[in-house]
Chain A
Amino acid sequence: MVKLIILAIDSMLISNIVLMRFLGICPYIGVSKKQETAAGMGFAVIFVMVMATLISFFIQKGILDPLNLGYLQTIVFILVIAALVQMLEVTMKKIAPALFDALGIYLPLITTNCTILGVAILTIQKNFNFIEALIFSFSTGIGYLIAIYIFAGIRERLEWSDIPKPFQGAAIGIITAGLLSLAFFGFTGLVKL
């Protein structure tokens, strides 16, 4: 039990997927200009991440491993993710059209979000069992949400600041991410695995 809590804290903060593992940065720069959109993206990511990880987990254990098709992992996983996002789009359009409109273009963007594929592959690499995979994917998603939400908040305020022209836009964004990463570094040593 304690091991699971530690795993959760580690995935969320200490090895934060964006600020420490460097995954999910492309949409990070694009999506994090407003806090509401950042939050929306974060929640969508959590959902897709958990589902994708669990589905890929079963496919790996049930099909790829027994049949020794390990080398098809990349292709199969990314297709699963793409299909999942596609299905999510269609379902959301029917069931929660308001939410669908709010997320807009960000939904298809999740497919190319390195975090989803990264987490799916890491789950297999780290040899997690089902419960661990669930905790890992969920906490990592929350970590993503936290990082992107804070980031958006900072960027909203940066809009009012006088940034030198060469640094406006992505450059100051990345530097901000660096400072945030430095802050998160303080979490190292929080728990001893």
Chain B
Amino acid sequence: MNILKKIFDGIWTNNPVLIVLLGFCPTLAVSTSLKDAIGMGFSALFVLIGSNLVISALRKFTPEKMRIPVFIIVIATFVTIVDLLLYAYFFPLHKSLGVFIPLIVVNCIVFGRAEAFASKNGMMDSLWDGIGMGLGFTLTISVLASIREILGNGTLMGISLFGQSYSPVIIAILPPGAFLTLGLMLGGMNRINMAIDEKKKAKEKAEKEKAKQLKASVANG
């Protein structure tokens, strides 16, 4: 298993938010500032790694019929751990993320990976899968947050970029802005992937043509 491929997979090819279409709730809600987005991403990453590892380790032990409750318990345990750690040591972040920390439990990304991958693969594979997906999620939410923070607040990571006179595009910070920006990102992602696909197809076609011509010349010659 290629670790780099796994990571690229999580960040682009199978980006949990933009391609697999999971985890919209926290992505939209926690993307008003880059700092919060990174905090959310890393919390989810922690849970992903933890739950993927444990669920993978338990995959032979877990009875088939009981796997949903077991997944739930394992994921919820890691989420609670993150919640407690944030409350104790990163209080401002805990306050910003609010109810979305416990909601990582029902974050379709975590559950989806547990069901689709961790319960069927070895521990090392599951670990890197968790990392890949977690990074993909963190990057996506960070890009969205950066756009929203820069446009809607004139700042990035709390640092003012344009000075006092900047008239912010308030809608970017408000809920509608979240939806619109994410929608545009989704469209953009699709467009890029379409372009890559078209290029690939054109290349394949050209090669087929060449092979055909080669065959024809061999047959004739």
Task: Determine direct contact between A and B, CB below 8 Å.
Answer: yes
Q: How many A-B residue pairs have CB under 8 A?
A: 126
Task: Find out whether the CB atom of A22 lies under 8 angstroms from the CB atom of B186.
Answer: no
Contact of A29 among B24, B69, B105, B187 (CB under 8 A): B24
Chain B residues contacting A164 (CB-CB under 8 Å) are 187
Instruction: Check A9 for interface membership: any CB of B closer than 8 A.
Output: no
Known: A22-B178, A26-B24, A82-B68. A117 touches B191 (CB 8 A): no
How distant is the Cα of A175 from the Cα of B180 in the complex, in angstroms? 5
Chain A residues contacting B103 (CB-CB under 8 Å) are 23, 114, 117-118, 121
Known: A82-B68, A125-B99. A74 touches B83 (CB 8 A): yes
Chain A residues contacting B73 (CB-CB under 8 Å) are 75, 79
Which A residues from 80 to 128 make CB contacts under 8 A with B? 82, 111-114, 117-118, 121-122, 125
Chain B residues contacting A170 (CB-CB under 8 Å) are 21, 186
Chain B residues contacting A118 (CB-CB under 8 Å) are 99, 103
Chain A residues contacting B26 (CB-CB under 8 Å) are 22
Q: How many of B's residues come within 8 Å of A, CB to CB? A: 43
Instruction: Tell me the minimal C-beta distance from A151 to chain B in angstroms.
Output: 11
Instruction: Check A61 for interface membership: any CB of B closer than 8 A.
Output: no
Instruction: Tell me the minimal C-beta distance from A182 to chain B in angstroms.
Output: 4
Known: A22-B29, A82-B68. A74 touches B179 (CB 8 A): no
7 tightest Cβ-Cβ pairs between the two chains A and B: A178-B179, A175-B183, A174-B183, A171-B186, A22-B29, A166-B191, A178-B180
Binding site for A on B (CB under 8 A): 21-26, 28-29, 68-69, 72-73, 76-77, 79-80, 83-84, 99, 102-103, 105-108, 111, 171, 174-180, 182-184, 186-188, 190-191, 194
